[in-house]
Amino acid sequence: MGDPGGNILEMNEVSKSFPGVKALDRVNLQAKAGEVLALVGENGAGKSTLMKVLAGIYRPDARSGDIVLDGGKVQYSSPLEARKDGLILIFQELSLVPELSVAENIFLGNLPRTRLGLIDWKTLREKTRKILKDIELDVDEMQIVTRLSIAKQQMVEIARSLSQGAKVAIFDEPTSSLTDTEKKILFRDIRRMRDDGVAIIYITHKMDEVFEISDRVMVLRDGKNRGTLVTRDARLEDITQLMIGRVLDDYFHKNQAKKGNEVLRVEDLEKKGLFSGVSFSVREGEVVGLYGLVGAGRSEIAETIFGIYAPDAGTIHIGGEKAHIGNSRDAVHLRLGLVPENRQQQGLVLKMSCAENLTLAKLDSMSRFGFLRMEDETRLFDEYKKKLSIATPGPAQKVVNLSGGNQQKIVIAKWMSTTPRLLILDEPTRGIDVGSKAEIHRIIAELAEAGMAVLVISSEMPEIMGICDRIISVRSGEITGVFSDQEVTEEKLIEAITHTAGV
């Protein structure tokens, strides 16, 4: 492995073009043995493209620069080839084989064998148990991974990288599905790899993670390297300005609306096994936050209000009247909207166009004799493209080709177009860059100032404190606290979500 503190990986003047797009423009990157290099930038800045070039998923442009690993020039034709050289990638999209066991996934391609060439199941189980113990992942090594939660599947992916003797380990948004406890374990393991001389490249949109885990931070914008900073000497404003090319004056936009009539009230709402005794309200012009750890029941509360789950007990009142919401169609008729946690799987049809996705929630009102009025669809798209500053060539662009931030704007626009009384946003800024986050915060404030009631679910404490008028803490399916924006503190929120506390 390279000298401690020396460059174990260099990417020199690397470029990559796609039809009509220069994704990377003479990018230079140096990763040192025994350090964590954070790689940041807005969606579409080129971060994932750069890593895919490194791993052999994409070939760099002809007459582009070169890649040097541990002193020798390399060019891989596949991630498997890169893995054999000690270059390990852990992408945000999991690459596990769903129907294989935890042990088989961790040692896939390197299964221990007996003298007869058969799989040595005893050794496989022993090795797997040791790795699982090291990362404090409490699962049976022979459990089929598809039966695990997404968070635990992510930890299995990480365990696989730890088993393979990496020289360079690349983590792409690794905490997107992890609880705070799992995140702490991950960071401990990353530090252990760093201390063992591994070079870590850590891709994230979360600035708190950049400052917590990295030694240096490299910023990409529009496919170019805009600067590399020593993390301990950097300020958030420095990194943000390099990322978006301007100073971000107001990262959080606090709603200034006068609060109106009650729009939503739930009383003693219960879904057995998920949550119980849930009571709260949201008024016109108010942004209310639901905050808690992953698995606390926040999303399930929102989905029950929207008719995805049927409650076992309790009542839901909309506009002062008791509502019977048997399904999401009933919720839409009552003028409720839900921006789901997973925009790609639950909020969008990726192969459809921007305009088609935007009109999905109001097809009835935009159709005549069963036929969609195309001119109305285009007019609606143009209206919300301007309102939300959606960066896309036009209404026919497929949403799969948009950045995460612009995909999220399409989902929000879909529900805004229905003029809802209540809009529920579940993790509205997950997986999007700092500039797009600020725009989403602005949109939320503007919706409230226009008189809409807004319910926000977020796992990011600075966000929930920065945009909400009131915050409701949730732990193990129960409400443990209600805080106004004037009285809330980080300490109070942490206490409320980690210990049982009275409302």
Contacts of 222 (CB under 8 A, 6+ apart): 25, 45, 46
Residues 99 and 170 in one domain: yes
Residues 360 and 221 in one domain: no
CA dihedral 341, 343, 345, 347 (to 10 degrees): 100
Q: Give the CATH number for residue 113.
A: 3.40.50.300
Per-residue pLDDT for 450 more than 70?
A: yes
- How many CB atoms are closer than 10 A to CB 38? 28
Whether 373 is in a domain gets the answer yes
Res 499: pLDDT: 62
User: Which amino acid, residue 408?
Assistant: Q
Angle between helices 374-387 and 404-416 (to 10 degrees): 120
Whether 176 is in a domain gets the answer yes
Residues 304 and 275 in one domain: yes
Residues 392 and 437 in one domain: no
Range of 75-84, 102-111, 119-128, 384-393 with top mean pLDDT: 119-128
Confirm if 278 and 330 have CB atoms less than 8 A apart.
Answer: no
With bands split at pLDDT 50, 70 and 90, how would you rate the model's confidence at 4?
A: very low
Copy the structure tokens of residue 55: 């791993």
- How many CB atoms are closer than 10 A to CB 144? 15
Residues 407 and 443 in one domain: no
Whether 438 is in a domain gets the answer yes
Domain end, chosen from 191, 220, 244, is at 244
Domain end, chosen from 363, 389, 418, is at 418
Per-residue pLDDT for 228 more than 50?
A: yes
Residues 239 and 169 in one domain: yes
Whether 100 is in a domain gets the answer yes
For residues 431 and 445, what is the distance between their CA atoms, to the nearest angstrom? 20
Whether 73 is in a domain gets the answer yes
Domain range spanning residue 76?
A: 7-244
With bands split at pLDDT 50, 70 and 90, how would you rate the model's confidence at 2?
A: very low
Domain end, chosen from 211, 244, 277, is at 244
Residues 132 and 223 in one domain: yes
Residues 131 and 230 in one domain: yes
DSSP-derived letter for residue 365 is G
Per-residue pLDDT for 93 more than 80?
A: no
How many distinct structural domains can be found in the chain?
A: 3
Range of 24-33, 36-45, 103-112, 164-173 with top mean pLDDT: 24-33
Residue written as tokens 């800045």? 45
User: What average pLDDT does the structure give for the chain?
Assistant: 87
With bands split at pLDDT 50, 70 and 90, how would you rate the model's confidence at 199?
A: very high
Whether 343 is in a domain gets the answer no
Residues 331 and 355 in one domain: no
Residues 89 and 173 in one domain: yes
Whether 1 is in a domain gets the answer no
Residues 468 and 389 in one domain: no
With bands split at pLDDT 50, 70 and 90, how would you rate the model's confidence at 501?
A: very low
Residues 15 and 159 in one domain: yes
Per-residue pLDDT for 369 more than 80?
A: no
Report field, pTM of the whole predicted structure over 0.75? no
Range of 9-13, 171-175, 486-490 with top mean pLDDT: 9-13
Whether 400 is in a domain gets the answer yes
Select from 166, 170, 247, 160 the least CA-distant residue to 203: 170
* Biggest distance spanned by C-alpha atoms of the chain: 76
Which range among 72-76, 78-82, 473-477 shows the weakest confidence by mean pLDDT?
A: 78-82
For residues 167 and 30, what is the distance between their CA atoms, to the nearest angstrom? 14
